[in-house]
Amino acid sequence: MKAVDYAAPRTISEAITLFSEKGDRARALAGGTDVLVQVREGRREPDWLIDLKHIPELNELAFDSKVGLRIGAAVPCSSIYESALSKPYAALIDAASLIGGVQIQNRASLGGNLCNASPAADTVPALIAHEAICIIAGPEGSRETPVEKFCVGPGRTVLGRGEILVSFQLPIPRKHTGTQYVRFIPRNEMDIAVVGVGVSVTLDESRSRCIAARVALGAVAPTPLLVTEAGAALVGGALTDDQINKAAKLAQAAAKPISDMRGDADYRQHLVGVLTKRALSDAIARAKDKEN
Amino acid sequence: MSKKVHVQAKINGADSEFLCEPRQSLLEVLRDELRLTGSKEGCNNGNCGACNVLLDGKLVNSCLVLGVEIQNRSVTTIEGVAGPEGLHPLQQKFLEHAALQCGICTPGFILAAKALLEKNPHPNEHDVRFWLAGNLCRCTGYDKIVRAVLDTAK
């Protein structure tokens, strides 16, 4: 691996100073499962790796009964699915449990998964389904942006010079909400999504009609997508097969996949329909579960 | 070349210190600086698990950790798995089941299995296969490995 310098700031303001000074020459290090591979293979050539794991706010995992779950950007996947605090966020647990093997899950973070800005990142459609907000800190202060607006292209994000992703804020799911993340890979484990779908469905008091829904797609466009119209097609109805098929068709229409070694564009388009239906059926079952 | 960093850490229970460049992975530090060559380099990108170690008790790929990151932390490598009284039960069972062919993947599998049994002392076959999904055996001797782990857990 090329020579790099290493810094481990202890506070957000130290980190902002470092990133402001170094600009594009610095890259954030959390779990390292993407960035170290990229530097080793020469796909990224930073002069500095800034280890953000020593900043308390990036390691936070806390639930507040008013605002919901806050997850520090550097918290590893295994800490998320092992914590009882994450239980109401089923789609996120689905996604965090299927990234890589245990070795990867013990290091890979949600912040890293998002900032790496791969269209196929597994946790991103799940975070979008959960309406997660990114908390960003920078030289001008802090700002918030919904997860679906964070990536602007493959490998590119809204983060400006000196800015870091601090944490995610996930609102408390409404009563009778079910969420699900499913992906297709050609093997059982340890692969990158050909298509990933994260959904959320909220039912009314009688648990028969849908009052809110979100459908998010991964690996079918330059960035993860929130398909607002697919969610809207489910609202107000009794979630009949017709309605679910319509939502799946709208998701397919929004998908703009490319062909690559993992799958042809046509195949991905087909998978979007299959997986959207599957994710919605599972999420509806979860929403009907007495515990939700 | 960037300046070397002085790192202090507990390696296999003993206080240890070394100098390393920030670009060096924990795997390189273990093998090249500390001469602990039990951890193997397979893919060097986090897919194969041959370099698995425990970092503060958690299973990680040492190729995806920087040496400088282990400041004041504790690392267990394959060299620290056997006790003074002899082989670890997993090592013994790997021998009894002949759960290795070329042996390159074995240290990683033992560390991964150790992490599993510490968390779940009585896994079923599904649990074992799922947990070991991040470890590759290119001789494809998975069945004996799974049986050795299950037998250890009995």
What CATH number is attached to the domain comprising B50?
3.10.20.30
* Beta carbons of A145 and A226 less than 8 angstroms apart: no
* Beta carbons of A62 and A21 less than 8 angstroms apart: no
**Cα–Cα distance between A159 and A157 in angstroms, integer?**
5
Query: Are residues B72 and B109 located together in one domain of the fold?
Result: no
Query: Are residues B31 and B65 located together in one domain of the fold?
Result: yes
Checking if the pLDDT of B1 tops 60, the result is no
Given B80, B97, B116, the domain boundary residue is: B80
Query: Are residues B44 and B72 located together in one domain of the fold?
Result: yes
β-pair partners for A210: A203
Report chain B's mean pLDDT, rounded to a whole number: 97
The minimal CB distance from B22 to the residues A6, A37, A102 is found for A6
Q: Give the rounded percent of residues in chain B with a pLDDT score beyond 90.
A: 97
Quick one: pLDDT at residue A188? 77
- Tell me the average pLDDT across B108-132: 97
Query: Are residues B61 and B106 located together in one domain of the fold?
Result: no
Quick one: pLDDT at residue B15? 98
The minimal CB distance from B49 to the residues A5, A8, A103 is found for A103
Residue B136: which domain range? 89-153
Which long-range contacts does B42-45 make (Cβ < 8 Å, 24+ apart)? B42/B104, B42/B105, B42/B108, B42/B136, B43/B136, B44/A40, B45/A37, B45/A40, B45/A41
All residues of chain A having their beta carbon less than 8 Å from the beta carbon of residue B134 are: 100-104, 190
Given B54, B80, B106, the domain boundary residue is: B80
Interface predicted TM-score (ipTM) over 0.85: yes
Selected residues 15-74 of chain A with any CB under 8 Å from a CB in chain B:
29, 31-33, 36-37, 39-41, 49, 51, 53
Q: Which residue of A has its CA nearest to B111?
A: A103
Quick one: pLDDT at residue B3? 85
Q: pLDDT (tens digit, 9 = 90+) per residue, B27-65?
A: 999 999 999 999 999 999 999 999 999 999 999 999 999
Query: Are residues B11 and B51 located together in one domain of the fold?
Result: yes
Query: Are residues B14 and B60 located together in one domain of the fold?
Result: yes
Query: Are residues B116 and B141 located together in one domain of the fold?
Result: yes
Quick one: pLDDT at residue B116? 98
All residues of chain A having their beta carbon less than 8 Å from the beta carbon of residue B24 are: 1
Query: Are residues B10 and B75 located together in one domain of the fold?
Result: yes
Q: Is the dihedral angle over the CA atoms B97, B103, B105, B110 positive or is it negative?
A: positive
Closest CA to A268 of A101, A115, A119, A112: A119
Quick one: pLDDT at residue A189? 76
Query: Are residues B64 and B12 located together in one domain of the fold?
Result: yes
**Lookup: tokens for B92:** 């013994």
Indicate the pTM of the whole model: 0.96
Total domain count, chain B:
2
* Beta carbons of A182 and A91 less than 8 angstroms apart: no
Q: How many CB pairs under 8 A join A and B?
A: 89
| SS3 annotation, B88-117 | CHHHHHHHHCCCCCCCCCHHHHHHHHHHHH
**Lookup: tokens for A40:** 């080793």
Selected residues 73-92 of chain B with any CB under 8 Å from a CB in chain A:
none
Query: Are residues B20 and B75 located together in one domain of the fold?
Result: yes
Element (H, E) at A141: strand A141-146
Domains assigned to chain A: 5-51 (3.30.43.10), 56-170 (3.30.465.10), 177-288 (3.30.390.50)
Q: Which residue of A has its CA nearest to B133?
A: A101
Query: Are residues B108 and B63 located together in one domain of the fold?
Result: no
Checking if the pLDDT of B2 tops 80, the result is no
* Beta carbons of B113 and B137 less than 8 angstroms apart: no
CB proximity B23 to A under 8 Å = yes
Given B26, B49, B80, the domain boundary residue is: B80
Question: Rg of chain A's alpha carbons, rounded to an integer?
Answer: 19
Report chain A's mean pLDDT, rounded to a whole number: 96
Query: What parts of chain A have a pLDDT lower than 50?
Result: none
Give the other-Cβ count within 10 Å of A175's Cβ: 12
What CATH number is attached to the domain comprising B135?
1.10.150.120
Query: Are residues B64 and B10 located together in one domain of the fold?
Result: yes
